[in-house]
Amino acid sequence: MAVPSWLERLRAASKTALVQDGKRKIHYLFEDGKEMAEEYDVKTGQLVGRRWREKNTLGGSGKWQVEVGEPTSPLLGALESELIKESSSNPVFMRKDTLSSFQWRIRNLPYPKEVYSVSVEEEQRCCVIRTTNKKYYKKFSIPDLDRYQLPLDSAALSFTHANNTLIITYQKPKEILAAEEQLQKELKKVKAANSGDGDCKTQ
């Protein structure tokens, strides 16, 4: 029996929608119990957040893991401000896509652009950031390409540096763009709770 494609899995998942704070929030519940929460900008349709949650070993809900969007701070309580002060100069890695590309930003990297190199490691299915001064090293994957079983293409990868931030861009392949377009059509069928959205229909 063929393994269902990622788009088929998204279509088969139980979905609920909510429009709030200018964002359309979609919650997916998959057959294997995994959950995914996505947030889209209502005006542009741009994905601004994606998080995942799996059942833990005891069968309860685990913690949300951020894939796209601002990393949520695990630090809570009175010590939070103290701890954040201490680590405020550490590099902060986050993904923030555009409509046509996957994009990552690493804040607090003060070195000039010529210090960095960003490359594709095809066998390991990941991208690697290196610095000639050995001050920063990061390996990261592109889950979207893995889910659609697409190869990594070094020609799609570029980077720039401004305001102490390294910005890495990977142009989305045409297969991803087509799948995202199909998904948006699918999501329009999911009725949003309390939104008063006249053009939304139930599945």
CATH no. for residue 187?
2.60.40.790
Phi, psi angle pair for 136, to nearest 5°: -150, 135
* Mean pLDDT, the chain, whole residue set: 86
Q: Which of 112-121, 150-159, 182-191 is the least confident region?
A: 182-191
Say which residue, 130 or 193, is predicted with more confidence.
Answer: 130
Pairing state of beta strands 157-162 and 165-171? Answer: antiparallel
Q: Is the pLDDT at 127 greater than 90, yes or no?
A: yes
- Return d(Cα 130, Cα 115) in angstroms, integer: 8
Q: Is the pLDDT at 15 greater than 90, yes or no?
A: yes
Q: Is 83 inside any structural domain?
A: no
Best mean pLDDT range from 57-66, 76-85, 126-135: 126-135
Q: What is the pTM of this model?
A: 0.82
What is the radius of gyration, based on Cα positions, of the chain? 19
Q: How many CA atoms lie within 13 A of 146 on its CB side?
A: 10
Q: Is 29 inside any structural domain?
A: yes
Q: Is the pLDDT at 198 greater than 50, yes or no?
A: no
Beta bridge partners of 157: 170
Q: Is the pLDDT at 72 greater than 90, yes or no?
A: no
The pLDDT-based confidence of 193 (bands split at 50, 70, 90) is low
Q: Which of 3-7, 29-33, 53-57, 104-108 is the least confident region?
A: 3-7
Range of the domain at 51: 6-72+90-193
Q: Is 79 inside any structural domain?
A: no
Q: What share of the chain has pLDDT > 90, as a percent?
A: 64
Domain count, the chain: 1
Show Cβ contacts of residue 117 under 8 Å, excluding neighbours closer than 6 positions.
Answer: 129, 130, 131, 132
3-class state of residue 70 by DSSP: coil
- Return d(Cα 39, Cα 156) in angstroms, integer: 25
Q: Is 81 inside any structural domain?
A: no
Q: Is 202 inside any structural domain?
A: no
Q: Is the pLDDT at 80 greater than 60, yes or no?
A: no
The stretch 35-51 carries a mean pLDDT of 94
The stretch 40-63 carries a mean pLDDT of 87
Angle at 51 between CA 99 and CA 184, to 5 degrees: 40
Q: Is 199 inside any structural domain?
A: no
Q: Is the pLDDT at 64 greater than 80, yes or no?
A: yes
Q: What share of the chain has pLDDT > 70, as a percent?
A: 84
Phi, psi angle pair for 82, to nearest 5°: -65, -50
Q: Is the pLDDT at 68 greater than 80, yes or no?
A: yes
Q: Is 131 inside any structural domain?
A: yes
Q: Is 77 inside any structural domain?
A: no
Q: What pLDDT does 4 receive?
A: 63
Q: Provide the edge-to-edge strand list for the sheet that holds 157-162.
A: 92-95, 101-107, 165-171, 157-162
Token look-up 């998904």 returns 183
State pLDDT tens for residues 170-182: 999 999 999 999 9
Tokens standing for residue 112: 């000039």
The pLDDT-based confidence of 188 (bands split at 50, 70, 90) is confident
Beta bridge partners of 27: 16, 37
Token look-up 């592109």 returns 142
Give Cα 140 distance to the centre of its chain: 12
